[in-house]
């Protein structure tokens, strides 16, 4: 009886590890980020105004240096974590890109006219490689095109795996969305791999739970939610709300033992995606926490089995 009571009180993840995860998320979210914006003097003035709106930081942790350039090489901070070059007709864009990349600083060129940009670069014995270029097709009205351009820029920044990206995602909404989607996908893939390689039932639970908790905390930090006691309660409710997916894995494993390793991985992947999307909805849309947890539990019910 006492043994069963102790078993019932056992937490699905190490409390010390969870506390460490909270401290790590808080430390990362409050770190600084230095960004250099190089603005071609011939850039479309409407795009300049739009960029000014989008780069308005909602936190104090982002330091932005705005440097205009055209036919003279400007001095810019190569100690920045990221260099973004907004280019039009300036002849030195290619050299600026090369300068940043030589110093191993992630850099990207943003343009509305890639054909003109490449022609000017070649005329000046330069080359701008496609992986370093962000642009969008010319369709829709001006505002719509600018929105698509910044959506592509946010996705490029996330794909580039820039070091310490969380403070930038926290400060700039157009980086936040792809960052959160990438974090959810990465955590789901990691949990799928963990569940697939563990053979003892339940042995993977502490690691799966810890990864889901880390994901929740990362999303909370990106949305600038204070990591206090209230966050711990929310994290527990959402992560525990996703445990129903483990019931599916165990039941399917009994029915189809020959492929149980694949089933465990698949369900761990789906369950972690659900937890991540629930956390995102909660912080982004201000959803009701009880309704979100109820939705998770409903989705996890093995009705067809």
Does 104 map to a domain? Answer: yes
Helix (H) or strand (E) holding 159: helix 142-159
Q: How confident is the model at residue 214 (pLDDT cuts 50, 70, 90)?
A: confident
CB 110 within 8 A of CB 86: yes
Average pLDDT of the residues of the chain: 79
How far apart, in whole angstroms, are the C-alpha atoms of residue 11 and residue 21?
16
Out of 142, 163, 184, a domain closes at 163
Q: Is the pTM of this model over 0.85?
A: no
Q: How confident is the model at residue 268 (pLDDT cuts 50, 70, 90)?
A: confident
Q: Which residues lie below 8 Å from residue 99, measured CB to CB, with a gap of 6+?
A: 73, 78
Which of the residue ranges 78-92, 134-148, 198-212 would you say has the lowest mean pLDDT?
198-212
Give the number of C-alpha atoms closer than 13 A to the C-alpha of residue 83, restricted to the C-beta side. Answer: 27
CB 97 within 8 A of CB 85: yes
Does 169 map to a domain? Answer: no
Joined together, the tokens standing for residue 280 give 């995102």
Helix axes of 173-197 and 205-222: crossing angle, nearest 10 degrees: 180
Tell me: do 284 and 178 sit in the same domain. yes
Tell me: do 158 and 180 sit in the same domain. no
Report how far apart the first and last C-alpha atoms of the chain are (Å, whole number): 32
At 11 the pLDDT is: 47
Dump pLDDT digits (tens) for 8-55.
Answer: 434 455 666 666 766 677 777 778 899 999 999 999 999 999 999 999
Task: Tell me: pLDDT of 274 over 60.
Answer: yes
Q: How confident is the model at residue 6 (pLDDT cuts 50, 70, 90)?
A: very low
Tell me: do 153 and 37 sit in the same domain. yes
Tell me: do 22 and 76 sit in the same domain. no
Higher per-residue confidence, 256 vs 236: 236
Q: What is the CATH number of the domain that holds 77?
A: 3.40.50
How far apart, in whole angstroms, are the C-alpha atoms of residue 238 and residue 236?
6
Dump pLDDT digits (tens) for 281-297.
Answer: 888 876 566 656 655 65
How far apart, in whole angstroms, are the C-alpha atoms of residue 98 and residue 83?
11
Out of 163, 189, 207, a domain closes at 163
Out of 135, 163, 191, a domain closes at 163
At 181 the pLDDT is: 94
Task: Tell me: pLDDT of 244 over 70.
Answer: no
Tell me: do 140 and 195 sit in the same domain. no
- pLDDT above 90 covers a percentage of the chain that reads 37
Residue of 68, 100, 72 whose CA lies nearest to 87: 68
Which of the residue ranges 116-125, 139-148, 168-177, 266-275 would you say has the lowest mean pLDDT?
266-275
Tell me: do 38 and 20 sit in the same domain. no
Beta bridge partners of 66: 37
């Amino acid at each position: 009886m006492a043994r069963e009571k102790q078993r019932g009180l056992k937490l699905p993840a190490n409390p010390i590890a969870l506390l460490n995860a909270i401290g790590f998320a808080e430390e990362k979210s409050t770190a600084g980020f230095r960004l250099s914006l190089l603005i071609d003097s011939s850039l479309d003035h409407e795009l300049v105004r739009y960029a000014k709106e989008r780069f308005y930081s909602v936190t104090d942790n982002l330091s932005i240096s705005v440097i205009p350039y055209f036919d003279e090489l400007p001095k810019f901070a190569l100690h920045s974590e990221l260099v973004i070059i907004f280019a039009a007709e300036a002849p030195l864009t290619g050299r600026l890109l090369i300068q940043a990349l030589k110093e191993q600083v992630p850099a990207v060129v943003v343009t509305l006219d890639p054909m003109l940009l490449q022609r000017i670069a070649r005329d000046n014995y330069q080359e701008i490689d496609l992986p370093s270029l962000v642009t969008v097709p010319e369709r829709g009205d001006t505002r719509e095109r600018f929105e698509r351009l910044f959506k592509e820029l946010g996705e490029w920044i996330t794909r580039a795996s820039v070091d310490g990206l969380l403070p930038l995602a926290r400060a700039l909404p157009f980086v936040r969305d792809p960052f959160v989607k990438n974090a959810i996908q990465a955590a789901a893939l990691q949990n799928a791999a963990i569940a697939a390689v563990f053979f003892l039932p339940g042995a993977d639970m502490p690691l799966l739970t810890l990864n889901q908790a880390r994901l929740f905390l990362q999303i909370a930090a990106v949305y600038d939610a204070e990591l206090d006691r209230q966050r711990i309660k929310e994290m527990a409710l959402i992560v525990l709300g996703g445990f129903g997916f483990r019931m599916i894995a165990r039941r399917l494993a009994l029915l189809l033992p020959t492929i149980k390793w694949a089933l465990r991985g698949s369900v761990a992947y789906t369950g972690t995606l659900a937890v991540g999307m629930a956390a995102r909805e909660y912080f982004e849309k201000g959803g009701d926490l009880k309704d979100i947890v109820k939705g998770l539990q409903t989705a996890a019910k093995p009705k067809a089995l």
